[in-house]
Each structure stands twice: as structure tokens, then as C-alpha cells.
Structure 1
């Protein structure tokens, strides 16, 4: 098969989950002989680790007054590359990128859904449904059964385009012991250290960890990430008088997140809503015990061979949340059981299987013999 010209279209350039997926896909599809470009509408983070051959249409978010000129620039960028296939990521990447790519003459357009419709602006969700039903999207990928069931309630003309492709990931193991990793990042040794890596926004509910930290004077908390909730979290830590035990480390490049994970005793994941929870899966596979919010989608993805790879708890109950964390910290047998189970996540979420499926989509083929399902098998 001759190489395809493949374009990944996303809303914002930052080091986050969707960007990590497209980076991995782009890298591996390039290694298979395809010509890959990444296009972002605008730059969100100055620390963004741009993949090779990246196009950023605007350096800042387009204003309403300049939106139509932005669309023109987007059209020109897509047309000039002449892609055989466009993969759109995130809901604005879908509803803006797909129609512009169709106008630019792209023959194969694949949307990617990572958010339940109930969590998307209703107008955007309605537009997305219409684009799928009208055939602007050739295929629509989802990464969990939770989202497959959710979008499976749409009309048949949309549902017939759905493909479940479990999200593959790159292992984040780090060749450094815990004490050395903490010293490298300026984190204290000899203390219980909780951590999270996430885009800092209210939906991640990182303040739930701050609240229990105020009741546990020995615990420290390291936060890897940036986002609009940063200032509020700093203010909340100051109110709780725990600023000396909360460590804001900023954004990490994907290649460096393993060093952060190597520092931790427990990875906390209190998010109110997720479509997959890549950060928690990466932490678990790296050997860090995970305590996660009791969401159906997290129970689905954080299990291997039918057994949970994390402790699940209602994070709205601070006593229960603190108790689950304490169990991991104080019971080595529980922590080791979670580590042992999590070793199988790499097989369940095979990077090769994900790349195979997207490569099939890029050529306009159904990625699996069983429609709507791609099994992640090494």
C-alpha cells in the first residue's frame, strides 16, 4: 500500500490527552511510510511539545470578529497539504475541522469523540449530530464502551459510522528510583506523596484532594499540569493553609511524565467526568497505585482480566476518599495487588492495535471485521 497523506486536526496546542494520542498515531504512521501533519487551530500552552511537521493556524484563540478570516486560513492550510484523510479530534475540531476539510476536497474524514454529548455545549452537540447524519464524517471513533453506548442512542445514520477503538498508550516507566526522582523535581523525600497529572480545570475536581490534605498533615500533593483552574487551586491551598505541602510543577512533556510518576506513592484521579482516563492508566501501568472517582467509565477502563486495577471511591465523600488513599499508603499488600494487576493494561490497550485501526480508517476501510469494535490485542 502506498503511503497516505494524513492530517490530524485539533483545537488547541497543549500537552494533554488528545494531543498525546495524535502524537503517538502520527509518529507510528510516519514510521509506516505515511506523510503526516498535525494542525492546531491555536496555541494554548507555551510549553507545548509540538510533534514534527506541526501547523498552528493562530498563535492565540481566534476572536469572534476574526473567526471568518481564521476559517479562511484553516481552509488554505488543509487545501495546501492535500490530505487523503483528516482525523479530527475534540468536539470543536470535529464541528469546525470536518466541514472545512470537506470543502477543501478531503475524501476521507474521521471524527473522534472523547466527550459525552451531555457535557458538550448543546448547540455544538446538535451540530455534531447533524454533521454525522449528513455524512460529513465518514467514520466516528470512540475509545470506550461508555461512549459507544452513549452515542449509540443517536439516529442510525450517525450510529452506523461508529467505531470503538480502545486507546493505546506509550509506557511511562522511568529508569530512576523514587528518591532520586523527587530530588530531581525538588519534591520532599520521606513523606507520603500523592499526585495527579491533568489539565487544570474545575471538572478535574483537584480541590477534592486539597480538602483531604488539610486533614492529613503528613501528606504532600504534587500537581503536574496547567489550565484555567490554576489560580483558584492556589487560592484554595492558601485558604486551607497547606501551600507548603502542595507542589505545582507545571506542564510536563509526554516524554518526561514518567519522571513525575516515579515520585509518587499514590496517583489520585478525582475527575467528575472522563471518556477514557489516559493519565490514570499511564500511572497504573507505571506501577503507581491509583485511587479514582467511582465513575462507570473509569471502572471499565481501569481493569484487566476482569479485575480492578485501582481503588474506586466517591470523591464527594471526603472521609471515604481519604480512607482509600490511606489504605494504599498503609497496606503494602493492597498496593502490590494493584501494581500486579495493572501490568496487564499494556496488553489491553495495545498501541499497535490502535495504530492498525487508524491506518485502516485512513484508507477508507472498516477497521475491524466486527463493525463498531476494534479489540486491542498486542
Structure 2
């Protein structure tokens, strides 16, 4: 048997959320560079990850049930800790990607395992119970080192938690989002009635930090201003937290806005990697009006698919996007400004072409190979 890998990358899920995409993409780049890396995730070992993975990995059975978020979080920490306790000596470094796996790794380290625990903080969740707020706090102050994916979150951790972090930006894999057969594009557009309507794509599901309510309200304004009015397709939405109440409230507002679910708005939920690729290549623009983001990986993914982007004027987006050049950045949470930006991009083919061209120039700055090199430098490998 050859030498065991020296680095474990751990994540709380096997589903298509940003942190999981980050973990798998980084692991694949490290593997290509010859770095001994092993991905550990909570999930269903029988189902595997949402996309093929050619990196050594283990899927730890995720606990089932739990009536509350608090119960689910602490059960997940226990499950990850049990696996790490049995396997920690295989690794010199356990680099965690979320508060669940971080708390588990820190517990095993503190019990005597000879591991260094690092964590990438993608963003800080808006927990409401004291136990979960404390859990998240500990998952930021307990690690031996921290990574963030933007300067904005480095600043937030300094001010709110009095800790420092190393900034390593996310990457993107252009090969995942290349051109598709025009016939497939036409079929996808036809399924949502967008044969002759402008097609907006939203990635991340219907949840508070994605600004979904503001996007629906902006679309309502566009229905009054544009003929034909745009179609919105919403994909994604895998989350450890339950946003059913927010989603139900947002969808209930569609009637008041003059919008019809299944006609003007299509909420498709989680989709496969291949389906996501298809929608990126079939839409006319990405609508990504988040009110809170760690980075916003969908922005770079859309750009790889030659999709012009309308995002939000958030500090994290301003780190790599320029309003009017690489994207349109209306004020976050302002559905009127968002509607104006979406109308501009829908009405102006020249603007769309300019945004696509500038995005192509931006993309080479953000590769997973670069991110892998920066992680190896951090780890001393």
C-alpha cells in the first residue's frame, strides 16, 4: 500500500451547494498537481456526489431525522467526528469547509489526534438559537488557521470575531460550461415558454440571502414594461436550513405581481450538473441579486457560459466585478433598481456583448489551479 494522503478536505454535504462545489473543484486541482488529498463528506454513500468525482473520497453516512435544525447540526457533527476519530492519523491536515466539519475536527484534535485543523469560512450563517450561534462562533475561533474567499469576509472576521484569515479566491472550470447543441438549447427554452421571450436564470433556489423576493418584484415590474415580458427560471436550493416559509411567502406574492408560476416563473429546484450546464447555456442573462454572499460562484460559472450577469452592489462583488463593465450591479435589496438593470441588459444587445467580452478577460484570474497552489503554500506542501 502506498503512502496515505496528507490532507483531508471535509464538507457537510454531497449536494450542489457552493461550498461543496468549491471542495470538489479544489480537490480535483490538488489531485492533478500530485497533492495527496482525500475528500470526506456527509451524505448517502449509495448515491454519491451530485457529479462524478475522480479524487479519493469517503462519504460518511449522514444522520437521518432530527426535528430541528439544532438537532440536525449536532447529529452531523457527531457523525463526522466519529469518522475522523477513527481515521485522523491518516492525515496531517484536516481542512474543513463549514462549521459542522470544523467542530468535528476540532473535537478530535483536542482529544489528542495529531492533526492541524484549518477552515475556509465561505460566509457566516444567520442562525437564531443561542446553541447554533455559539457553535458557529466556536467554528471560527477554534481552528488553527482560517481561509476566506474574499477580502470582504476577511474584514468581517476581523471586526466581528477578532481573528485573521488568509484570502484565497475561488476558481472556476470553464470546461464544465462549454457550448451545447443548439437543438438542446432550443428544447430547454421551449419547455419554459421562452421561445421568443428573454430568459433570465437564477441559481441558488428561493431563499433570503439570494434576494429572491426582490427578483420576483423586479420581474413584476418588467411584466408591465416589456412585451413580451421575460421568463425566469430558478434552479438550485439544496440547503441544510429549511427556507420553506420564505419560499411559500415569496411564491404567494407572485399573483399580486401579475406573475404566474409555471409561466413567468419556473422553480425547478436542485438540478444535475449536466442540467445546470444546459440552463447556463440556454438562458440570456444571469439574475443574481443576492443580499449576502461569500463570493458568488454562480457569477463566474455564468461568465464561463458567455452569460451576461446582473448581480448586486455588494462589497464582495465589487472585489472582482466592475459595474457597467463586467456586470451590472444595482443596489442590493432594491427591486426597482434591479428591474432597471434587467431591462437594460434585456433591451441592449450591444451591452450584452460588451459584458460578455469583459467577462472573458476577467476569467483567467480565477482558476482552481491557482487556488490549489495557494492552498499548498499555506499548508507547506
TM interval, short-chain normalised: 0.7 to 0.9
| Cα separation, 2, equivalents of 1:327 and 1:129 | 42
| Cα separation, 1, equivalents of 2:203 and 2:76 | 32
Contact kept? 1:98, 1:111, Cα under 8 Å: no
Partner residue, 1:266: 285
Partner residue, 1:226: 237
In structure 2, the CA distance between the partners of 1:214 and 1:65, relative to structure 1 (3 Å rule), is: closer
Partner residue, 1:333: 350
Contact kept? 1:47, 1:251, Cα under 8 Å: no
| Cα separation, 2, equivalents of 1:9 and 1:96 | 10
Shift of 1:100: 2.9
Structure 1 residues without counterparts, runs of 5 or longer: 368-378
| Cα separation, 1, equivalents of 2:296 and 2:124 | 13
| Cα separation, 2, equivalents of 1:106 and 1:57 | 24
Partner residue, 2:219: 213
Contact kept? 2:325, 2:354, Cα under 8 Å: no
Partner residue, 2:303: 284
Whichever structure has more strand as a proportion of its residues is 1
Contact kept? 1:62, 1:70, Cα under 8 Å: no
Partner residue, 1:151: 157
| Cα separation, 1, equivalents of 2:183 and 2:160 | 51
Where 1:270 maps in the other structure, the secondary structure is: coil
Partner residue, 2:177: 173
TM-score (norm 1): 0.81
Contact kept? 1:88, 1:98, Cα under 8 Å: no
| Cα separation, 2, equivalents of 1:155 and 1:251 | 33
Shift of 1:302: 2.2
Note the 1:219-258 alignment, pairs <5 A. 219-227=230-238, 228-229=243-244, 230-240=247-257, 241-243=259-261, 244-258=263-277
Number of residue equivalences: 353
Deviations 1:316-344 (A, max 9, x none): 33332111111111112211111111112
- Aligned pair 1:74/2:75, yes or no? no
Deviations 1:161-210 (A, max 9, x none): x2111111112433226663241462331111111111432221212222
Deviations 1:238-293 (A, max 9, x none): 55442212122232334542211111112111111011111112212321111112
Deviates more, 1:120-129 or 1:169-178: 120-129
Where 2:201 maps in the other structure, the secondary structure is: strand
In structure 2, the CA distance between the partners of 1:108 and 1:207, relative to structure 1 (3 Å rule), is: same
| Cα separation, 1, equivalents of 2:336 and 2:79 | 52
TM-score (norm 2): 0.80
Partner residue, 1:91: 99
Structure 2 residues without counterparts, runs of 5 or longer: 224-228
Note the 1:1-378 alignment, pairs <5 A. 4-42=5-43, 49=50, 51=53, 53-60=57-64, 73-81=79-87, 82-103=90-111, 105-116=113-124, 119=126, 136-153=142-159, 158-159=163-164, 162-171=165-174, 172-176=176-180, 180-184=184-188, 186-187=191-192, 188-217=194-223, 218-227=229-238, 228-229=243-244, 230-240=247-257, 241-243=259-261, 244-303=263-322, 308-361=325-378, 364-365=379-380
Where 1:311 maps in the other structure, the secondary structure is: coil
